Amino acid sequence: MMLPSLLIVIALLVLSRRSLWASLVLVPFCVGLGLITVLRVDTLTAWVYWLTFWTSLIALTSAVTQLGLAQPRSRGMQITAKALPSASVPCFLLLLWQGLVVGFNVPKGIFPSVGDVVLVLQGSLPVLLSDSYVTFVQEVALGFVLGVPSGIVVGIAVAYSRFLQRGFLPLAAAFGAVPIVGLAPVLGRAFGVDWQSKAAVVVIVTFFPVLLNTVQGLTLVDTLKLELLHAYASSPLTIFRKLRLPNALPYLFNALKVAAVVSVISVIVAEFLIPGPPRGLGQRISLSARQGAYDVVFAAIFVSSVISITIYGVIVVLERVFTGWHPSLRGEGQ
């Protein structure tokens, strides 16, 4: 009973005084207390468990809120005040998940706890990584390698052709809106049920966003800059290198970020819809769900999410490298 009371006092102090140091101390303390509470549920009575659990989460929320509002002066404190709330959100969600499942004694076959998922990750990580190789290397990576350059090349051709802009571009936009649920069975029949059909799905879902954004970036240029280059008798290649290509890079990276997310979702859905060899994260999720092994399902989802976030982060880093001159990125550093 002392720990919940102490947390309430500290939380009220943080809310009333807006103390930065109190917030910094309270965040890890609340996370640790919540973790200890859910791990030692068997030694606690029900009301003590729920009181300690909810008090730690409420105190954590108040501390993170104050960190978000704080304006520290030192550089180190600024970095800490920005990083700690971001790290606290997943801790809060995982503690909430674990606490509710443990507190209500939910069976693993209905909804697993975080601990059950961690145990599966420890015991089945080699199998999940093997499935990830099939999904992300043989299917997603190959689809990206084929879809992105094709979209760029066709986008350049469309941008320089009035006929293609009026005839092909509307059809491309319409075909890009075809749902993957209707497209995957057709590709499975055309390319077989192995990884080739899933890679074809990725090619399609990456080709059209890259195509459309490339055309926009190459055509929506500043008229004054274009007229200036024409006044200097610049060649079309010079205009492309100096004006159109730099203007298209932000559009292209936006398309790549969208394609990175959509391709992972599409390929996992395609593994659901195209029955084939039991390889890949989508097949692992489907088979495990049918068997009621939802801890394996969440473990596969976790591995897929980590790899997807990594791919997205790499694209963001490349965007900063190649388009650091863009006003949107320059504004982030101010």
Of 74, 103, 132, which one is at a domain's C-terminal end? 103
Continuous segment of H or E residues that includes residue 232: none
Cα 108 to the chain's mean position, in Å? 27
Q: How far is Cα 252 from Cα 254, in angstroms, rounded to an integer?
A: 5
pLDDT at 78 > cutoff 70 = no
Q: How confident is the model at residue 334 (pLDDT cuts 50, 70, 90)?
A: very low
Mean pLDDT of 246-251: 91
Shared domain for 75 and 147, answered yes or no, is no
Q: What Rg, from alpha-carbon coordinates, does the chain have?
A: 26
Both tokens assigned to 50: 């729920």
Mean pLDDT of 255-283: 87
Shared domain for 207 and 319, answered yes or no, is yes
> Domain residues for 194?
114-332
Q: How far is Cα 15 from Cα 23, in angstroms, rounded to an integer?
A: 9
Lowest-pLDDT range of 44-48, 112-116, 173-177: 44-48
User: Model pTM?
Assistant: 0.79
Shared domain for 324 and 209, answered yes or no, is yes
Shared domain for 240 and 199, answered yes or no, is yes
Does 8 fall in a domain?
Answer: yes
Shared domain for 242 and 264, answered yes or no, is yes
Shared domain for 99 and 172, answered yes or no, is no
Q: How confident is the model at residue 69 (pLDDT cuts 50, 70, 90)?
A: low
Does 139 fall in a domain?
Answer: yes
Does 73 fall in a domain?
Answer: yes
Both tokens assigned to 287: 């088979």
Shared domain for 321 and 257, answered yes or no, is yes
Query: Residue 171: which of 225, 124, 123, 207 has the closest Cα?
Result: 207
pLDDT at 101 > cutoff 90 = no
CATH of residue 275: 1.10.3720.10
In angstroms, the Cα distances linking 182 to 23, 173, 191, 280, 319 are: 51, 16, 15, 21, 33
Residue 61 is classified by DSSP as H
In the chain, how many domains are there?
A: 2
pLDDT at 333 > cutoff 50 = no
Does 145 fall in a domain?
Answer: yes
Shared domain for 78 and 171, answered yes or no, is no
Shared domain for 82 and 7, answered yes or no, is yes
